[in-house]
Structures are given as structure tokens and as C-alpha cells.
Amino acid sequence: MNATWQSLLATQGARFADDISVRFHDDARDDVRRAAQGTVVVPLVHLGAIRATGEDTIAFLHNLFSNDVKKLGANQAQFTSFNSPKGRMLASILLWREGGDCLLALSADIHAAMQKKLSMYVLRSKVRLMDDSGDSVLIGLAGPQAGAALEAAGLGIPGAPLATASGMATVVRLDDARFVVSAPLSEAAGLWATFTAAGAAPAGTAAWQWLDIKAGQPLVSAPVQEEFVAQMLNYDLIGGVSFTKGCYPGQEIVARTHYLGKLKKRMYRVHADVPALAAGADLYAPDFGDQSAGKVVSAAPAPDGGFDALVVLQTASADAGEARVGSPDGAPLRFLVLPYAIA
């Protein structure tokens, strides 16, 4: 995390357990309640940004990622993934254009390693990959007054999900009332003050993670790297995979799963009445006995107690409606609705 940004947030009441999470209350659940009840502004310190620049940027990223980067318009964003040769997701990425550059937002705990790994593919391509955290910050806005907060700051409101608006900062629209703002570090203090003055309540990392879970948008972090093929994380359902583009690492496995295979695992949204829950925890179901039937992808405190999570689970177990977390006799999962249909 940028030290200047961290110091600024500390003056606003932010508390840091580590470099990739922040809260504004003693209990992170109170941050989540703010997100559930109104409009929030969240420092997205759990995400890291990589800037790709140079005349070969689009072709370079297109040849590495699961989505069709060549079709990414000047005012568009897309979900995409970087996969291992075996088709397992190394990173889930929100990608958008800023002028001639591309910005890649991914989990902060894998940010440095993924920048290094992607750089190994540069070779003679005219592209540079840079850590953008020294020059810019990512801020999340969510809730019914999020648009008004953007207008108060003089920022554009993208007209549709996964559209962008450029200006003093870039605004990426995720859905009806959720936005990611990529801003120069020099503008961060002013934007934060404007957003809060416009009625957005400061909230911590858990609030944004809970909103991601509610939206069915997974984040691949270190505990679940190389665990899932893109379709297991519903990336085909949220527009994160192109099945018509050319080759990229893992493409053969992803395509084979789509055209020839019957998908045995999918991602579901669930609730568990447990005191703690984290990415990587194993799930169990009667039809698999002592063998793990799936894993937690991401989890956050639920507003009224327990934890909400995105989990990858055997479809047969999900259809049976019975699964538990941690052990075969662990806390049962309650299945929640996703905003899109699972095929």
C-alpha cells in the first residue's frame, strides 16, 4: 500500500491490520452494515494495479488473457483471467483502458508475483508493465448515492456496467450502483473529502468483499490460486472468457471444458453461521464423504451475523442442497441467490 495514501486514510479513522485490508470500525461487520444500508466509499487496498504501456500493449495482453482484449473499447472494461498452462486461474483481473495504456486490477496479495510472471512473457514486445500503486489509488463507491458523489467530484458516470468514463480520474462502472475510481495519488485526498461530503460513509475492505460476493464476482487471491478453471468461477457467465479468440495459456483446457466437457463444479453464493471463514477453506457434502467437495473462494462477515461467501462446489452436491464447511460435520451452508443464472 502506498505510504502517503495509508497516512491520509489514517487521518480519516482507518485502521490497518496489514497492508491489504482496512476497517473503519472495531468490528468489520459494522463496515459491511454500512454497505448494506446506504452509500459507502471504500479504499480498495486489497487490490493492486498494474499499468501496461507501449505500442504492443493490446496484442500482448490479448495473447495472455482469457478475454478478447482486442475488442476492448476506449471506454470499456472487462473481466478477464490469467491462467496456468493447465487452465487454472492464476489471477482474476478487472481490465480497462486509460488512453493508450491498460490498467489491470487484481488481488493485492498476488500483485507483485503476477507482475513479475507477466513480465517474463514480454521478450521483444514493445510493452512495459509497471506497479501503478506509487502513482494512483483505487477507490470504491457503492450505494444509491454513489452517482451523486461522482457528480459532486466532477467525474463522469459511465452509462452501463463495464463502461468507463475518463477525466481527472477514470471511473469504471461494475453494476447499477457500484463504481471503481482510479485516481492519481495527488487527487486522492480531495476526492475522498468530496465523496464523504456527498454522503458516502467510509467503509473497510470487508464491505467491498461482501458487495463482490453479493454480485457474484470472484477474486482469486493467494489461497485459491491454481484451484479453478475459469468456468468453475462462473467467468463464462459474467463475460470473462472469449471462446472465439485465439490461443492463450490454458486456452485448450478452458475451451475443452466449454465444448466437450460437462462442468462438475460451479460457483455459488452461500451463508454459514460460523465465527470465522476465509478463502481456501474446504467444503464437504454427504455424497463425497470425507473427501473435499469444494472450496471457499472469498468470504466476508454478513450484516446480521455469520459469513457470506462465494464457494466452488460440486454441482451434484449443490443440487442436493446439502454442504458443510470445514469438516463433514461442520456448519451447514445455506444457498443464496446470485444475480445471474447458473447454466
The domain ranges of the chain are 1-217, 222-335
What is the CATH number assigned to the segment(s) 222-335? 2.40.30.160
- Helical ranges in 17-157 per DSSP H: 28-37, 57-62, 111-119, 146-152
Distance from C-alpha of 69 to C-alpha of 153, rounded to nearest angstrom: 30
pLDDT of res. 181 = 98
Rounded CA-CA distance 323/301 in Å is 19
Residue range 1-217 in CATH 3.30.300.10? no
Mean pLDDT computed over 262-281: 95
Q: What pLDDT, in 10s, does the model give residues 154-209?
A: 999 999 999 999 999 999 999 999 999 999 999 999 999 999 999 999 999 999 99
Give the three-state DSSP class for 232: helix
pLDDT classification of 49: cutoffs 50, 70, 90: very high
* Predicted confidence band of residue 126 (pLDDT cuts 50, 70, 90): very high
Asked if the model's pLDDT at residue 215 lies above 80, the reply is yes
- Residue 26 burial (CB count, 10 A): 8
pLDDT for 329 equals 95
> What torsion do the CA atoms of 295, 298, 275, 108 make, to the nearest 10 degrees?
130
Mean pLDDT for the stretch of residues 210-221: 98
Summarised one tens digit per residue, pLDDT across range 295-323 is 999 999 999 999 999 999 999 999 999 99
% of the chain exceeding 90 in pLDDT: 90
Amino acid at 308: D
Question: What phi-psi label fits residue 218: left (phi over 0), alpha (psi between -120 and 50 degrees) or beta?
Answer: beta
The pLDDT of residue 136 is above 90: yes
Name the 3-class secondary structure at 49: strand
Please give the average per-residue pLDDT across 146-157, as a whole number.
Answer: 97
Q: Model's pTM, two decimal places?
A: 0.96
